Amino acid sequence: MDMDSMQLFNIVLTGVLRGGLYALMAVGLSLVFGVMNIPNFAHGEFYMLGAYFSYFTYTYFHFGPISSILLAAVGTFILGAIAEKTLFYPLRKRSKKNWIMNTFLLTLGISIVLQNGAKMLWGNTYRGITQYWPGKVSIASFNISNDRIAGFCIAMVTIAIFWLFLNKTTMGRAIRAVSQDETGASIVGVNLNVIHTLTFALSCLLAGLAGAILLSISPAYPFMGVQPLYKSWFVLILVGMGNIGASIYGGLLVGLLETFAYMKFGSGWQDVVSLAIIIMILIFKPRGLFAKKGVKSVSE
């Protein structure tokens, strides 16, 4: 096997793994925006909290990998529910005027508080683990660590379960109903308060899960959430909202693009390249790459 195809394989592998993460994040982000009209800029911080949760459960309390990841998911779910009940619920009760802008600023405030709170509590150090599952898989002459395979599989399985939940269960259908027509849904007896809390908590769960899965690859750090947040917004702009399948494509696309730009142009310049591409897309395909009926578009 020559160097070039080796490098290409590496790019694809890293890109796909990152893409899985971005998809997981983007699904949560798009869910909250679709159902509650909240542009959640604190989404990355729940990713960060997930990483810290699994770090502490794994290293201090010696839980197994799966149970640490699950605990991180449960933890961020609970924190998300608390945030919704204590912050967004009062705001919704007080006023609905200028809701998107107000919640945007509110989530920004939450993000600042969580970042700096984490920094005060746990310091500015990286807290990571070497691996959840030691060992690697060899295909031909490539070596892929078990963690990467497991991480990608967990991400995809989670998205699949989530899709089933949204489409096949009563609760999931209620969430989708609210995202389509809030008043209509409440007339037919959907409890909006429950749906809102559940939606926000679920979205936080997805972010926390992503942080926990990737702990061995990107260690826990107070400001680790900014990059994934930025990328998941990138995905949403690319594919539009409210379509889980499109979010997966978008996530993989952004992951590959970013890794490729990183390899080709060096670190630092990949932001410029990604931005140039997104500008082109917005100019030539302002309705997103997968524009179709039922997908909320980003243009007016």
Partner 1 sequence: MEKAESSLTKGGRFIGKFGFTPLSIAMLFVLAIFPLVLQDEVITRLLISALMLGALAMAFDFTAGFININNFGYAAFWGVGAYTSALLAVKLGISPWLGMLAGGILAGLLGLGLGFLTLRLAGIFASCMTWFVALAMFAVTANWVELTRGTSGLSVPPLFNTTGNIGYFYTILIMTVLTYVGLKVIIKSHIGTAFRAIGQDLQAAQASGINVTKYKIMNFTISCAIAGVLGGFYAHFVGIITPTVMNTSHTVEVMVLSFVGGRGTIWGGLIAGLVMIPSMEYLKGLMELRLLIYGVLMIVVMIFFPSGLAGLYYKVVQLIRKNASLTKGKKEEKDVRRAGL
| Site of interaction with partner 1 (CB under 8 A) | 39, 87, 90-91, 94-95, 98, 100-106, 108-113, 115-117, 119-120, 226, 230, 233-234, 237, 268-269, 271-272, 275-276, 278-279, 282, 286, 298-300
> In whole angstroms, how close is the CB of 233 to partner 1 at the nearest point?
5
Q: Are 81 and 71 in contact (CB under 8 A)?
A: no
Closest approach, Cβ 286 to partner 1, in A, equals 5
Say if residues 43 and 25 touch (Cβ distance below 8 Å): yes
* Burial (CB count within 10 angstroms: exposed 0-12, middle 13-18, buried 19+), residue 201: buried
**C-beta separation of 65 from 132 below 8 A:** yes
User: Shortest gap between Cβ of 177 and partner 1 (angstroms)?
Assistant: 23
Burial of 119 (0-12, 13-18, 19+ CB in 10 A): middle
Backbone angles phi and psi of 291, in degrees to 5: -60, 125
Q: Name which of 285 and 292 has its Cβ closer to partner 1.
A: 285
Amino acid identity of residue 62, one-letter, is: H
Element holding 183 (H helix, E strand): helix 182-187
CB of 126 to partner 1, least distance (A): 17
Q: Which is nearer to partner 1, 104 or 163 (CB)?
A: 104
- Cβ proximity to partner 1: between 156 and 298 the closer is 298
Number of Cβ within 10 Å of residue 198's Cβ equals 20
Nearest one of 151, 295, 171, 135 to 212, comparing CA atoms: 151
Cβ proximity to partner 1: between 57 and 274 the closer is: 274
Provide the minimum distance between the beta carbon of 271 and partner 1 in the complex, in angstroms, as a whole number.
Answer: 4
- Which residue lies nearer to partner 1 by CB, 7 or 299? 299
Residue number with CB closer to partner 1 (9 or 223)? 223
Q: Which residue's CB is nearer to partner 1, number 164 or number 275?
A: 275
Close Cβ partners of 231 (under 8 Å, ≥ 6 residues apart): 22, 25, 254, 258
CB atoms within 10 A of CB 273: 16
Q: Taking the complex as a whole, how short is the minimal distance between the CB of residue 97 and partner 1, in angstroms? A: 8
Give me the amino acid identity at 197: T
